[in-house]
Structure 1
Amino acid sequence: MGYPLNQKFDYSVLTPFLNLHLNNVGDPYTARSMLLHTHDLEQEVLGYFARLWHARPRTSLTPDSFWGYVLGMGATEGNMYALWSAREYFRTGPGKSVEQPVLYFSQEAHYSIEKCAKITGLATFQEMGNEYYPGQCPITSDGHWPQGVPVDKHGAVNPEMLSALVGFFTAKGHPSVIVLNLGSTFQGAFDDPQAVWQSLSRVPRGDNCCQQANELSRQDCWIHIDGALGAAYLPYLEMACEKGLTREKGPCFDFRLPWVNSVVMSTHKWFGAPFASGIYMSKEKYRMKPATLPEYIDSPDTTLGGSRNGISALLLWYAITAITPAKQAQTAAECMKLAVYACEQLATVRAIHPEFHIAKGPQSLMVLFSRPNNRIFNRFQLSGRGELAHIVVMPHVTRSAIDHLVHSLHELDAFDITKSKGDVQADRISHSDE
């Protein structure tokens, strides 16, 4: 219950395809010599998400038409591809700059962002500040540079503080690469791209960007949406809200916003899959230009992995074909109601443990509460940070499962941290059949 993974799926009908080598090598939209692939299904999947995320179609191809591919890994690969694309955009593309771009992300950003920054050679605002502008941070009282942009109580990035940091480095000629969360790892927070942009629009432009008064985007700024969970969940929640199934509705994050450059989603989170995969989507004008046209595959290698697992596209194609958007919207509304139910039931724990803490942010499927002992923590496979734990109300989580958790938290020793490893192992064995 502690991880944003949907266990409610059945791909057994696709079992015969495990006897084939399906290799989606190269670009999804170009011919290739390798014929054992699922590129046609991959294109259908990408078209589905282009409609879900309101991207411009490829039927009449323009520079703003969507482009993307099904990832060989999870959202981390998409995050890396986005940072790589942003780096090249500022190195040789329309945003070409003589100054090094600076990467911004919140304190709740996924740990992969810093790893991807190291691999792509992008400097974070903390690294740049510590090296060249020590003691000059505009958002701290003593001038020290924090590791991430501060967040509110629910874990969403503070737009004003982000803009203050961007303004500091923009004034020195540095373009910006900004990663926004759509369902942060622990608190499940949703950054608001529109609020962020409204704040960024007040930051003076650098010398290398477009100066039109009515421009809808900035050439000195690349905004990437890390929507590993949220980019798949929020569109259906929006549909549910429009149908009156829920009052909850998340922020607008997709290509309706012209300043959004790229979006990533993980298949195994909302949709569910037996292994990690996902979607990366950007625009045709940002498609990476390969250094060579490999004669071996007869296709430009515009993806990060090159040789990609064709089963990933097949599974996602089956998922979006078998479950209608209307059914997904209903599931999103049910998960949201169940998350509220979890909060209500967890509140009863305070009758036994008065110091028990509960929190849930807007639209979030993650419910935070005081961390119990290891026996309970491991039994329900919770995720924890410090003195807190959380559950993630994914489609496979049931009311009964929540009731069992709450019942365990009512135990007098539920928060006794002195439980031994032997007790933990014994509990794992006794509950192995649940």
Structure 2
Amino acid sequence: MSQAFDYAALAPFLSVHLNNLGDPYAAESTLLNTRALEQEVLAYFGKLWRSTDRKPLVPESFWGYLLGMGATEGNMYALWSAREYLRTQDFTEGAKSSVREEPVVFYSEASHYSMAKCASALGIPTFEDLGNGLYPGQCPVTSDGRWPHGVPTDNGAVDPERLAELVDFFADKGHPPIIVLNAGTTFAGSFDDSPAVWQALCPVLERHSFRTGTDGANRQDFWIHVDGALGAAYLPYLEMAHTQKLTSERGPRFDFSLPYICSIVTSSHKWYGAPFASGVYMSREKYRMRPETHPEYVSTPDTTLCGSRNGLSALILWYALATISPDEQAATAARCTELAAYAHHQLQSISEWHPSFQVHRAPPSLAVRFTRPRPDIFDRFHLSGEGKLAHIVVMPHVTRSAIDLLVDALRSTDALA
């Protein structure tokens, strides 16, 4: 999470209860809210993620809301939306589902742990669950037929061909896929290549007579969600920086300019910085769920997960976007990726002191992974770990001097003890 923020100007609002209740675009039911600011923030992300504007409102127009929690809530909402879309007969007017079997969730072995938790809470089987339950020993992508927890990856990014093989196996049995791609994995910070995934996936879906939307139909028999907790905010600015020749690094496309992307989520406290967890969920108007009920008590239909949502989240994110221009964000993205490359280079030099020392970075990732040091160094620098590796994530508040201090500590003779 970025610590480079200052919201002191908003302190007076801490004395006000701001409640954004229900759908941001439905009738307001509370007097003290920030829904106008929430709509401005959503319009900003609609442009940032290259979606269709809401004026005029068309099926491809963006729709979304600001989350009460971080990206995990958005992931939960995406899976819930996908489940209902693939199950129901009249999710959108004039578009009926032809799916007869339960949908199946696919995510990579590098995906955030919340994906399994969300799928379990919603009762949606993952390909591992369904494979172990109905097709033990028949996994097409492992040598022994065992079902892995996630789709295999290559340097942290999902393997499009292995994903397509797994989808093919379940599509052959009538199960529509709910696919989660990553714009910045949790530990490696890797980016799944959405266009490459679609190139491998589309022929599989068509071969099994699943609608892909490529024929102009207003319905499709799949859902692709992008978990961009960090990367969905970082990558667009990096692309701006690349266009401005501030950096040579850039990431793969992941946004709504790709017609097969159904939903995207980001955690606003990660790239922009905030004193508490918050985020943005966005999909298209044609995927907006119909409200379960129209409760008279709150006088507004509610299509969100939490109902009452923290209006301060919208105010804080609106303030961040209003006070830091896109060009400034692009310059920050360029500086961060340059600093991540610097950290990678400096950490590589440690192998002179410790020949077994490993360092990994997959550009344009802001995460640099390296051999886990002894506990006191690990704790001193607030590192995160996974197995025998630790990592740092170069956020806007990180400085070159902080990286140099870490490198100096790792050069000590017993740093890896």
TM-score by length of 2: 0.96
How many residue pairs get matched?
A: 411
The letter for the 2-side match of 1:33 is S
Q: What SS is found at the alignment partner of 2:167?
A: helix
Q: Are the equivalent residues in 2 in contact too, given 1:233–1:332 (CA < 8 A)? A: yes
C-alpha distance 207-141 of structure 1, shift in aligned 2 (>3 A): closer
Deviations 1:246-303 (A, max 9, x none): 0111000000000000000001100000100000000111111112111112111110
C-alpha distance 11-283 of structure 1, shift in aligned 2 (>3 A): same
CA shift, 1:218, in A, is: 7.2
Q: Tell me, yes or no, if structure 1 residue 364 matches structure 2 residue 365.
A: yes
Q: Tell me, yes or no, if structure 1 residue 396 matches structure 2 residue 387.
A: no
Deviations 1:76-127 (A, max 9, x none): 0000000000000011134452200010000000000000001111100011
Q: Distance in 2 between matches of 1:101 and 1:76?
A: 20
The letter for the 1-side match of 2:150 is G
Q: Distance in 1 between matches of 2:253 and 2:381?
A: 33
The letter for the 2-side match of 1:272 is G
CA shift, 1:142, in A, is: 1.6
Q: Distance in 2 between matches of 1:50 and 1:211?
A: 23
C-alpha distance 379-246 of structure 1, shift in aligned 2 (>3 A): same
CA shift, 1:217, in A, is: 8.9
Within 5 Å, give how 1:161-310 maps onto structure 2. Answer: 161-205=162-206, 209-210=210-211, 214=215, 219-310=220-311
The letter for the 2-side match of 1:364 is S
Q: Tell me, yes or no, if structure 1 residue 141 matches structure 2 residue 143.
A: yes
Deviations 1:361-392 (A, max 9, x none): 12100001111001100000000111111100
Q: Are the equivalent residues in 1 in contact too, given 2:21–2:29 (CA < 8 A)? A: no
Residue 431 of structure 1 corresponds to which residue in structure 2?
Answer: none
Residue 105 of structure 1 corresponds to which residue in structure 2?
Answer: 107
Q: What SS is found at the alignment partner of 1:24?
A: strand
Q: Are the equivalent residues in 2 in contact too, given 1:217–1:259 (CA < 8 A)? A: no
Deviations 1:387-424 (A, max 9, x none): 111100000000000000011011111111xxxxxxxx
Q: Tell me, yes or no, if structure 1 residue 323 matches structure 2 residue 319.
A: no
Residue 43 of structure 2 corresponds to which residue in structure 1?
Answer: 47
C-alpha distance 392-148 of structure 1, shift in aligned 2 (>3 A): same
CA shift, 1:211, in A, is: 7.4
Q: Distance in 1 between matches of 2:355 and 2:395?
A: 28
Gaps of 5+ in 1: 417-434
Q: What SS is found at the alignment partner of 2:266?
A: strand
Within 5 Å, give how 1:324-363 maps onto structure 2. Answer: 324-363=325-364
Q: Distance in 2 between matches of 1:38 and 1:213?
A: 38
C-alpha distance 244-216 of structure 1, shift in aligned 2 (>3 A): farther
C-alpha distance 217-59 of structure 1, shift in aligned 2 (>3 A): closer
Q: Tell me, yes or no, if structure 1 residue 121 matches structure 2 residue 123.
A: yes
Q: Are the equivalent residues in 1 in contact too, given 2:3–2:273 (CA < 8 A)? A: yes
Q: Are the equivalent residues in 2 in contact too, given 1:72–1:278 (CA < 8 A)? A: yes
Q: Are the equivalent residues in 2 in contact too, given 1:85–1:286 (CA < 8 A)? A: yes
Q: Which residue among 63, 66, 70 is the counterpart of 2:66?
A: 70
Q: Are the equivalent residues in 1 in contact too, given 2:212–2:221 (CA < 8 A)? A: no
Q: Are the equivalent residues in 1 in contact too, given 2:103–2:175 (CA < 8 A)? A: yes
Q: Are the equivalent residues in 2 in contact too, given 1:71–1:277 (CA < 8 A)? A: yes
Q: Which residue among 51, 57, 77 is the counterpart of 2:53?
A: 57
Q: Are the equivalent residues in 2 in contact too, given 1:67–1:283 (CA < 8 A)? A: yes
Deviations 1:115-163 (A, max 9, x none): 00011111000111111111111111221111100000x2000000000
CA shift, 1:345, in A, is: 1.2
Q: Distance in 2 between matches of 1:212 and 1:256?
A: 14
C-alpha distance 140-207 of structure 1, shift in aligned 2 (>3 A): closer
C-alpha distance 24-347 of structure 1, shift in aligned 2 (>3 A): same
C-alpha distance 402-213 of structure 1, shift in aligned 2 (>3 A): closer
C-alpha distance 307-351 of structure 1, shift in aligned 2 (>3 A): same
C-alpha distance 237-298 of structure 1, shift in aligned 2 (>3 A): same
The letter for the 2-side match of 1:76 is T
Q: Distance in 1 between matches of 2:131 and 2:218?
A: 26
CA shift, 1:205, in A, is: 3.1
Residue 7 of structure 1 corresponds to which residue in structure 2?
Answer: 3
Deviations 1:176-197 (A, max 9, x none): 0000011101111100110000
Q: Distance in 2 between matches of 1:317 and 1:135?
A: 51
Bigger CA drift: 205-214 or 249-258?
Answer: 205-214
Q: Distance in 1 between matches of 2:80 and 2:210?
A: 20
C-alpha distance 198-208 of structure 1, shift in aligned 2 (>3 A): closer
Q: Are the equivalent residues in 1 in contact too, given 2:212–2:222 (CA < 8 A)? A: no
Q: Which residue among 33, 37, 40 is the counterpart of 1:37?
A: 33
CA shift, 1:209, in A, is: 3.5
Q: Distance in 1 between matches of 2:215 and 2:81?
A: 26
Q: What SS is found at the alignment partner of 1:205?
A: helix
Root mean square deviation, CA, Å: 1.4
Identity over the aligned pairs, expressed in percent? 61
